[in-house]
Structure 1
Amino acid sequence: MAAAAGTERARIVIAGGGLAGLSLALALKRALGDGLDVVMCDPALTRDPHGDRRSFAIAAAARRMFEALGLWDKVADKAQPILDMVITDSSLQDPVRPTYLTFEGTVEGEPFAHMVTSGDLMALLLDACRDSGVDLRPDGVKGFSVQGAHADVVLAAGGTISAALLVAADGARSRLREQAGIGWITWPYRQSGIVATISHERDHEGRAVEHFLPAGPFAILPLKDEVLADGTVRHRSSIVWTERSENVPALLESHPEDLLSELEKRFGLQLGGITFETRPQAYPLAFGVARSFVGERLALLGDAAHLIHPIAGQGLNLGLHDVAALAEIVTDAMRLGMDPGGADVLRQYERARRADITAMGIVTDGLNRLFSNDMLPVRLIRDLGLGLVDRMPGLKRFFISEAAGMRRSDVPRLLKGEAL
């Protein structure tokens, strides 16, 4: 294989060791092996990944990517398939929440999504990256400068790494995006997402529930049961509780029994008594998208490129689509002897991701504005729309395939379960 211009052996530096960054590092090393040096830089690499108790929905297309990377068998042991989904629309005070839309949770013979804890997935990705030869460095990236056919990546602790390509996976407040002069279009939603893991008496049976309430959606997402040391089975779910930001401090600072009472009003009694398994944490919600996903010798990945409302649970999956696209483009370029950080290669990545990200941003923003609204005429129109969709099997299949990330034929090979 020909080396990239100006390098003895191409090197890619990934700044940010989250789920997207680690997935990209693994994908590149599995595809190119010793033909590519991959360096992962993040001070958080020294932390115990299991400390992150957040949970994410892994869509079917992303599941296929992890299968192609040889990781899914281990992830599956810790993942809970979503077998069906129920959507309701009501006010908080309504004694009954009518179901307007239901989805069977399968597409092309497999669950459209699996729930997995971030810490479990992070730990598996870290182990796989180590085994594949990724250079994991617990150090931050302070900045970079482009020197012709390479970028000098400056580390926070001192020292410089020469790279054909720098990937900014350093989050929505990306320092590298800012240094590259790439604009960021953003607006706040004046909402916060409260996340926690809940224990409950009854089995969720793999059902996900989304209640559309005036303050925002309240999602109950099934997690894998936990078997305790005494053999007792603990039934668990993750919640994503969208609330007006001005109400959140008082909620989180209230007495635990009062907070649990507020949760019960939203959670309902269908799963019996509930308790907090993890301490609730709140995150401000906002929309954001970079004016460009690439710069000179730079590619943006995940939240550094885009930030969307969690109403459709697609934030992480959108980042994993970035991973699949960038890994394929870089791999194909290097096999042709091209420079992986060259402008023509990076333009391919920009073209591959712009339309998908723009469409998902518009959809999630519109859904949030439509459903976080208690005006009676708006409620009547949207409930009529939900009811019509529920009676149209073909349209339901379209939506579930879209959520699974498997509708389009031009998706990257990894998302089809094909190795690079």
Structure 2
Amino acid sequence: MDIRRPRGIVQAMKTDFDILVAGGGLNGPALALALADAGLRVAVVDTRPADARAGDGFDGRAYALALASQRLLSALGLWGGLAAHAQPILEVEATQGAPGDGPGPFGLHFDSAEIEEGRLGYLLEDRFLYRALLAAMQGKVTHLSGVSVTGQQVGPAHVTASLSDGRKITARLLVGADGRGSGVAQRAGIARIGHDYGQIALVAAVDHDLPHQGVAHQYFMPSGPLAILPLPGNRSSIVWSEDAASARAILALDDAAFLEVLRPRFGDFLGPIRLAGPRFSYPLNLTLAQRYVAPRIALIGDAAHGVHPIAGQGLNLGLRDVAALAEVIVTARRRGEDIGTEAVLTRYQEWRRPDATWLAYGMDGVNALFSNRNPLLRAARELGMGMVDAIPGLRRGFMRQAAGLRLDPMPRLLTGQKL
């Protein structure tokens, strides 16, 4: 009798790994840890040297972690070592204005005391998060540093990845966590849509004399938004979006002149400000992969969706991908399915693409609505923010959305549960 294995069930062929992750930033290692904890063989290909960004020096780069993202880090066993370095976000103030004019009369005020979780999220420096992920991978995940994936060939039961050092590695699934210019996506023939914002984000940290009280501020100005995000102590991270020409001129200034331009936008509510580290910049654009999956390929993070930094949702969107893809893979593996098949990967795409696309275009719309000098739109914006702020149920809904608590269904890792 010819007994055949049902379609989609794992074949007997041996591969080097179950999962190969291209990209060693933050999302890639987080996914690798989640899968390794569930018993899968995982490797991360990281273009940077093993000690990249692992130093102790403060450089000002930080992330606004939604509460759901913090719970994922807790489920991965990382939060215990990170909590001491994290600044809780207790309130958010969103207003519009112009340099030197101060905030407008109406705005949005989110207070964490209004939701039962008691936190909206946390600010955490890049150096602490990256180092924790790097340390946690040791002994669990094969970390191939200083190399990149330069080619991929998909077969019926596995994918073969070619590395820049000449090695070839086989896996049942290749995950692209390699950013907005994802080589994995390009080689898989996955097209992208989007547009350039004509803006550049200026990123830095400032020390100030007065305490921030755990309050995050979002100022919407005609040339782009300015986020002032609380860090531990009397220190804040800024993400300042300006039109590209102005941003380039500001970047060319020395530190003293840079502060002179920043001060009218920042205001004096925290007292005198001083630069606390180096300055960074990056161009802003919207770029969305038209598909998140291809045969034996899946995309996460910026490889799937690069968004405007309004509300600091970029990393949070990536960690939502991590949680969903990990759950889909682990569930399929436990059922005996081949984790690289279209049937399995489509579950991930259907789970994540609507949420990420909606959020990406939502932030795109907010930026378009606020980044202009139209006086009629200014009045409409003031009225809209005032109305939302005046309706408690609507305000709490926005807070829970920002905290990552309104996904349906909610991946288990985002609730703090292990897979």
TM-score in terms of structure 1 length: 0.94
Residue 343 of structure 1: how far off its partner (Å): 1.3
Aligned counterparts of 1:297 and 1:352: Cα–Cα separation in 2 = 17
What letter is aligned with 1:241? Answer: W
Write out per-residue CA displacement over residues 129-178 of structure 1, whole angstroms, 9 at most, x where no aligned residue. Answer: 114x1000112111110122001110100110011000010100011111
Aligned with residue 20 of structure 1, among 21, 27, 30? 27
Residue equivalent to 1:47 = 51
Q: Deviations over 1:3-49 (max 9, x none)?
A: 932433652100000110010001101122xxx21011112142332
Partner of residue 193 from structure 1, selected from 172, 194, 201: 201
Q: Which residue in the other structure is 1:37 paired with?
A: 41
Q: In the alignment, residue 44 of structure 1 is paired with which amino acid?
A: R
2:296 is the counterpart of 1:289 = no
The answer to whether the 8 Å contact 1:90/1:98 transfers is: no
1: distance between equivalents of 2:378 and 2:331?
A: 49
Q: CA deviation at 1:99?
A: 4.9
The offset of 1:97, in angstroms, is 4.4
- For 2:11, the aligned partner's letter is A
Structure 2: gaps (5+ residues): 1-7
Residue identity opposite 2:239 in structure 1: V
Q: What is the letter of the counterpart of residue 167 of structure 1?
A: V
Q: Flag the 1:162–1:218 CA change in 2: closer, same or farther, 3 A.
A: same
CA–CA separation in structure 2 for the residues paired with 1:95 and 1:14:
46
- 2:4 maps to what in 1? none
- Shift in Å, 1:322: 0.3
Deviation at 1:316, TM superposition (A): 0.6
1:125 corresponds to 2:133? yes
SS of residue matched to 2:24 = coil
Stretch deviating more after TM superposition (96-105 or 134-143): 96-105
CA distance in 1 between partners of 2:73 and 2:162 (Å)? 31
Alignment partners' CA distance in 1, 2:272 and 2:41: 52
Q: Contact (CA 8 Å) 2:98, 2:265: kept in 1 or not?
A: no
* Residue in structure 2 matched with residue 85 of structure 1 by the alignment: 92
**Number of corresponding residues:** 406
Distance 1:381 1:97, change over 3 A: closer
Instruction: Name the residue aligned to 2:167.
Output: 159
Query: What is the aligned partner in structure 1 of residue 235 from structure 2?
Result: 236
Q: 2: distance between equivalents of 1:189 and 1:6?
A: 49
Q: How does 1:302-381 map to 2 (within 5 A)?
A: 302-381=301-380
The answer to whether the 8 A contact 1:146-1:297 is kept is: yes
Q: Does the aligned pair in 2 maintain the 1:6–1:149 contact within 8 Å?
A: no
Pairing 1:139-158 to 2, within 5 Å after superposition = 139-158=147-166
For residues 269 and 201 of structure 1, what CA distance do their matches in structure 2 show? 10
What is the CA–CA distance in structure 1 between the aligned matches of 2:116 and 2:76, rounded to whole Å? 21
Question: How far did 1:415 drift?
Answer: 0.8
State the Cα distance separating 1:118 from its structure 2 match: 1.1
2:49 and 2:289 map into 1 onto residues whose CA distance is 26
Structure 1 contact 150–163 (Cα < 8 Å) conserved: yes
Q: Is the 8 A contact 1:87 1:99 kept in 2?
A: no
Which residue number corresponds to residue 223 of structure 1? 231
Q: CA deviation at 1:411?
A: 1.3
Residue 10 of structure 2 aligns with which residue?
4
> CA 1:14–1:293 in 2, change beyond 3 Å: closer, same or farther?
same
Quote how far apart the aligned CAs of 1:119 are. Answer: 1.4
Q: For 2:386 and 2:29, locate their aligned partners in 1 and report how far apart those are by CA, in whole Å.
A: 41
**Contact map agreement 1:200 1:274 (CA 8 A) in 2:** yes
Gaps of 5+ in 1: 226-234
2:185 paired residue number: 177
Question: What CA distance in whole angstroms lies between the structure 2 residues aligned with 1:272 and 1:411?
Answer: 41
What TM-score, normalized by structure 2, do the two folds share? Answer: 0.94
Residues in 2 aligned to 1:346 and 1:399: alpha-carbon distance in whole angstroms: 30
- Say which SS state the counterpart of residue 111 (structure 1) adopts: coil
Taking a change above 3 Å as real, the CA distance of residues 96 and 190 of structure 1, as seen in their structure-2 partners, is closer
- What is the match of residue 213 of structure 2? 205
Residue identity matched to 2:41:
D
Query: Structure 2 counterpart of 1:5, which letter?
Result: Q
Cα shift at 1:364: 0.4
1:280 has 2:284 as partner? no
Would you say the 8 A contact 2:22–2:148 is kept in 1? yes
Show the counterpart of 2:3: none
